[in-house]
Structure 1
Amino acid sequence: MLVAHSIGCAAPLLLAPRRPDLIRAMLLIAPCCRPVPFKPLLLLRMAMTPLIGSAIRRQMTTRWPEMIFHSAVRTSAGPNPVPEYLAALPARHIVSSPSIETMAAELSAFNADMAALGHISSELPITVVFGDRDRVIDHRWHSEWIRRNHDQALFKTLRGVGHLPHHVCAEVCVELLERLVEANMSPMDNRRSPVA
């Protein structure tokens, strides 16, 4: 059972047609999965520019990590308040040079990778959760693409929720995951003894 969020949903979606034997079901939370229109993202692009990129990354990670982190978390959580445990995360560990490079690499490969994805087997159960007030992605853009590529996907749209349904409405996400687990357990799974 795979659970993924945002751009992290690309990995299980790309894995599914290649290794169907590994995946029994998926819960995708606010998935960013359809190729997206070009966005300037000037600061990120400048941070990856040869020669000056390392200097820009150094400035970002030494001078402004708290500002960058808290701005990103507010945008992701909005319109909902940022949970205290997310606000308390150490910004300098998250806004680091390797994390900026990784994010840039993911974004540069994303469109080509997802454009190459074909139809996903309708036998693979997929449940999708979106917030209807998401400020990071357009949930309609991505849900339309999922419907085209998987005609059996089940959708749940949460009213008044942004890009973090698993933080804002954790109980709903847990319930959807439990339903997936129950519906896709094999008789062998039921015979396993609980782990101590």
Structure 2
Amino acid sequence: MAVLFWIVVVAILAVAGWLGWNAMVTRRLAADAERRIPPVGKTVMVGGDSIHYVDQGAGRPILFVHGLGGQLHHFRQALFPAMDDGFRLVAMDRPGSGYSTRISSGARIPEQAAAIARFIDAVGLDRPLLVGHSLGGAIALRVALDHPDKIAGLALISPLTHYVPTPPKEFGGLYIRSPLMRRIIAATLAVPASLKNASQTLDFVFGPQPVPADYAIGGGGYLGLRPSHFHATSSDLVAVEQDLPGQMERYGEIRIPVGILFGSRDRVLHHTRHGLAMEGLIEGIDLEILEGVGHMPQFVEAEKVASFVKRVAGRAFAA
């Protein structure tokens, strides 16, 4: 019994030391990420959260909402330069992502939609066109359902529109249902593991196109190497199963102009299931498929994505 006791003690100490080492590495990587990519925009208090956003140009407003694990650089770096003058372009870090906090708001899709509606008021956007990418598309659709008076239309890029019970295996490490385990893993193991698997994950997300050479900095990729960002991303993924099945039944309620742009070779969200399947669910939907393009068209076909956004903006603002 004494031998067994000491074996257990040694095992516990070994695990504690291993977790402690990983926690130290996590803090170092997070500090380095924030040094490399500091905040670039403004902040505004929305409820109890500080929301980080960029705001440039003048004219009718367009608000950009990023997807799972993303941040505002997914639009600022890739798409903004391709947009013409004449629009007020605003991109936000969703609560918990980038440099926005998640204290008073939650990860549930209706909660995130409500936070965006409050952000629209706080920043003074007069019925913007709402652009949502990936998970940001599902959240944008919820804004249209729950807060239709806040926006003029939707331009959705590679959007999550239908519930898929099993996430891609490349995202399996994010699916942590226990809030306690999510906190522990975020603070210890998640960031070193994310760095180790970064090449494989990014190839999956961007493929078949190559990952942009400047994605780590210009595209904000390094900001994912922080415990708060991993925790928010994992929470977002888990929350989808709670709200998306019911949301799918309500798409017919949407009465504002809606456009969807998908790549035909998207590996993350299949264009048939999440794009073509929306035909007939929303009246007058504008659906465009980019042949041979993956999940991140705003990086690889910025001019075509900008043209799509401006086309939907024309319909939305005319209406």
User: Residue 138 in 1 paired to residue 270 in 2?
Assistant: yes
Residue 28 of structure 1 deviates from its aligned partner by 0.5
CA distance in 2, matches of 1:92, 1:18: 33
CA–CA separation in structure 2 for the residues paired with 1:114 and 1:51:
24
Aligned identity (percent) is 24
User: Which is richer in helix?
Assistant: 1
2:186–2:230 CA contact under 8 A, matched in 1:
no
Q: Which residue of 2 aligns with 1:38?
A: 166
Alpha-carbon shift at residue 161 of structure 1 (Å): 0.5
C-alpha distance in 1 between matches for 2:209 and 2:308: 21
Q: Per the alignment, do residues 156 and 92 of structure 1 end up closer, same or farther by CA in structure 2, a change over 3 Å counting?
A: closer
Matched, 1:69 2:198: yes
Contact 2:162 2:244 in 1 (8 A): yes
1:88-112 alpha-carbon deviations (Å, 9 max, x no partner): 4565531322222212211122123
Match of 1:170 in 2: 302
Which protein has greater RCO, CA pairs closer than 8 Å, 6+ apart? 1
| TM-score of the superposed pair, with normalisation by structure 2 | 0.52
Correspondence for 1:190: none
**What do residues 108-160 of structure 1 show as CA deviations (whole Å, max 9, x unaligned)?**
22123122221344531111111111111111111244225313211111111
Alignment partner for residue 85 of structure 1, among 214, 227, 238? 214
| Matches of 1:55 and 1:47, distance apart in 2 | 12
The residue type equivalent to 1:139 in the other structure is H
What is the alpha-carbon distance in structure 1 between the residues aligned to residue 237 and residue 269 of structure 2?
14
The worse-fitting range, judged by mean Cα deviation, of 21-30 and 106-115 is 106-115
What is the CA–CA distance in structure 1 between the aligned matches of 2:220 and 2:314, rounded to whole Å? 37
Structure 2 vs 1, CA of residues 34 and 148 (structure 1 numbering), >3 Å: closer, same or farther?
farther
Counterpart of 2:161 in structure 1: which amino acid? C
- Tell me the distance in 1 between the aligned counterparts of 2:222 and 2:254: 42
Residue number in structure 1 paired with 2:240: 110
Does residue 151 of structure 2 align to residue 23 of structure 1?
yes
Displacement of 1:56 in angstroms is 6.7
Which of the two has greater strand per residue? 2
**Partners of 2:207 and 2:266 within 8 A in 1:** yes
* Count of residue pairs the alignment pairs up: 186
Structure 1 residue identity aligned to 2:242: A
2:176 and 2:147 mapped to 1: Cα distance? Answer: 37
Task: State whether structure 2 residue 224 is matched by structure 1 residue 94.
Answer: yes
Say if 1:120 and 1:20 are closer, same or farther in 2 by CA, change over 3 A: farther
* In structure 2, C-alpha distance between the alignment counterparts of 1:90 and 1:121, rounded to whole Å: 35
Question: Which position in structure 2 is the counterpart of 1:179?
Answer: 311
Q: Which residue number corresponds to residue 9 of structure 1?
A: 137
Q: Which amino acid aligns with 2:284?
A: Q
Aligned to 2:90: none
Could you tell me which runs of 5 or more consecutive residues in structure 2 were left unpaired when the two chains were aligned: 1-128
Q: Taking structure 1 as the reference length, what is the TM-score of the superposition?
A: 0.81
Partners of 1:47 and 1:53 within 8 A in 2 = no
How far is 1:6 from its partner? 0.5
Query: Partner of 2:290 in structure 1?
Result: 158
Q: Distance in 2 between matches of 1:112 and 1:5?
A: 20
Distance in 1 between residues matched to 2:220 and 2:260, nearest whole Å: 30
Distance in 2, matches of 1:16 and 1:177, equals 17
Contact 1:130 1:163 (C-alpha < 8 Å) held by counterparts = yes
Structure-2 change in CA distance of 1:48 and 1:178 (3 Å): same
Contact 2:156 2:260 in 1 (8 A): yes
The 2-side partners of 1:16 and 1:46 are apart by: 29
The two structures, once aligned, show a CA RMSD in angstroms of 2.6
